[in-house]
Structure 1
């Protein structure tokens, strides 16, 4: 375990030039004291690693030093061909680069690893978009990706849901995210970060001026926080439902994941507080779920058919009744 950590520490310094003890500790998930001991061990083994004091200091390798400890294990070789990125790379305009990189990697692998990686690529396929949905192919993705890589500001014309629907903004692109087949741009305007669905960008101009990325910005962490806040902002209201046994069983199937996780089944101890009463003698359970709005909730509740009854709010109950009456008129009932 320690030998693996020493190799990882060495490769981190080789790829990132300079890192503080705290940065190394966070990356390797160990204490700072452990990093001090590991650096001493590398030095004793003849690795030219040294520390620089001061605010901008840290550990680094002697200029020009490169380790040959970059061999891949069999599992690592397989993982590189199971990333699910070829389709995404094609949308970014990187098909040729991806193909060339895979060929170079394959040629560099020992024969036994080359065969195993090739089998993995031929037997496992990652399809990212959801069922019944086609992946978007936004026309402006490639220039936005180039600007994000090269730190060029963008002038975008964007179509949003709120009024005014069409807006123009100058933004600093900090990252691109592929979510369920859809591309999103995370960009800073002033001191605020916003998320833009790239298929709703009507026009884009790559500006000549370059920008400095926000210090400490981490795209993965930002996106995780964005999703959490997005669901909280969206589901501001609640509804009380009565569900049959079959309705309870179909919660994960018929509700979107954020709602199903919040409502869950009544025997889940984490969310048992959501259960108000039941199950009663007939097997019906009353529980509370978050909803976005009355209008948005009705289509999802109709999927349950006769296995759900809206108890509250009255506006939602009335809208379901109105919809059902309209449906009976269509069918002449």
Structure 2
């Protein structure tokens, strides 16, 4: 366990440069006292570490020192290759860089780990977009990504669903999220942090002004909160339904037995629920709300009339 921690500490300093004992302790989830002991052990092993006290102090590796040690286990090597999405990298303009990085990583791995990595690429393929419909065209994705990397403000001309349908906004691009094959930009602006679909960006104009990410902002935390809020806004009501065993299976409801199962299902709106429940055909009966039941009944009567004879 300690050997693994020493490797992690060394790689942290190699990749991030100067770090204080407190920062290292937080990253390694150990005490500051443990960091002092680990740094001493690395120094005794001949690793050229330099420590300085004071406000601007901390630990760093002597300039020019690079370790060839990757610290990768078999599982970590597999994960590194499994997490690399060629299509995603290409969209961001990093396709060639990904290929080169994988070649370098493969060359640096011991023979047994190299074999594991090659097996991952032979046996697993990650394809993020959904089945139906063509993938969204995102002609401005590379420009958005460049602004995110450079921390530079941009002016967006953006198409949205409500009037006015086209708007122009000056924003600070904090980060990009790929969700179900669709790219989203998380950006700050005069009205706070907002989320924009990148395929709805009509034009992007980079600016020279740089910005600083607000203290405490975390892209993963923001996105998780955004999804939770989205789901809360999405399902504003519920329907009481009866389902056949097949209907329960298709709707993801645990059946009560071999007969009909009664369940309460969250719904977005009457219109949306009307379309979705029609997909289940005779495997569902709407009990409430009355408006939804009446809509389904009216559609059923219309279909029966249309197909008579």
TM more than 0.5: yes
Match status 1:225 vs 2:225: yes
Match of 2:121 in 1: 121
Give the structure 2 partner of residue 272 of structure 1. Answer: none
For 1:21-60, what aligned pairs fall within 5 Å after superposition?
A: 23-28=23-28, 30-31=29-30, 33=31, 35-46=32-43, 48=49, 50=51, 52-54=53-55, 59-60=58-59
Pair 1:298-2:265 in alignment: no
How has the CA–CA distance of structure 1 residues 24 and 318 changed in structure 2, closer, same or farther, with 3 Å as cutoff? Answer: farther
Q: Does 1:265 find its partner at 2:265?
A: no
Shift of 1:72: 2.9
Q: In the alignment, which residue of structure 2 is the partner of 1:194?
A: 194
- CA–CA separation in structure 2 for the residues paired with 1:15 and 1:58: 17
Q: Which runs of 5+ in 2 are unaligned?
A: none
Equivalent residue for 1:178? 178
Q: Write the distance in 1 (CA, Å) between the matches of 2:57 and 2:207.
A: 35
Structure 2 partner of 1:100: 100
Residues 69 and 101 of structure 1: CA distance in aligned 2, closer, same or farther (over 3 Å) = closer
TM-score (norm 2): 0.88
User: What's the offset of the Cα at 1:8?
Assistant: 1.2
2:243 alignment partner in structure 1: 243
Q: Deviations over 1:111-138 (max 9, x none)?
A: 4433432232122211112223433231
Count residues with an aligned counterpart. Answer: 304
- Is this contact kept in 1: 2:148–2:173, CA < 8 A? yes
CA distance in 2, matches of 1:301, 1:13: 56
| Maintained 8 Å contact 2:128/2:181 | yes
> Contact 1:152 / 1:209 at 8 angstroms: preserved in 2?
yes
Between the aligned partners of 2:54 and 2:232, the Cα distance in structure 1 is 44
| Partner of residue 155, structure 1 | 155
Find the aligned partners of 2:189 and 2:109 in 1 and give their Cα distance.
44
Post-superposition CA distance 1:185-204 (Å, at most 9, x none): 11111361111111111111
Q: How well do the aligned residues superpose, as a CA RMSD in angstroms?
A: 2.5
> For each residue in 1:33-76, what CA deviation from the matched residue of structure 2 results, as whole angstroms up to 9, or x when unmatched?
2x42133232244153646555xx67432552544432433333
Separation (CA, whole Å) in 2 of partners of 1:135 and 1:144: 18
Render the CA deviation track for 1:83-135: whole Å, top value 9, x for unaligned: 14211010111112112222222233334433432232122211112223433
Cα deviation digits, residues 275-306 of structure 1 (max 9, x gap):
xxxx59x8323222211110011111112211
CA distance in 1, matches of 2:298, 2:50: 74
SS of equivalent to 2:271: helix
Secondary structure at the residue paired with 1:183?
Answer: strand
129-138 vs 173-182, greater mean Cα deviation = 129-138
2:6, 2:42 within 8 Å by CA — same for their partners in 1? no
C-alpha contact 2:19 2:60 (8 A) present in aligned 1? no
Q: Secondary structure at the match of 2:214?
A: coil
Name 2:60's counterpart in structure 1. 61
d(CA) in 1 for partners of 2:22, 2:295: 57
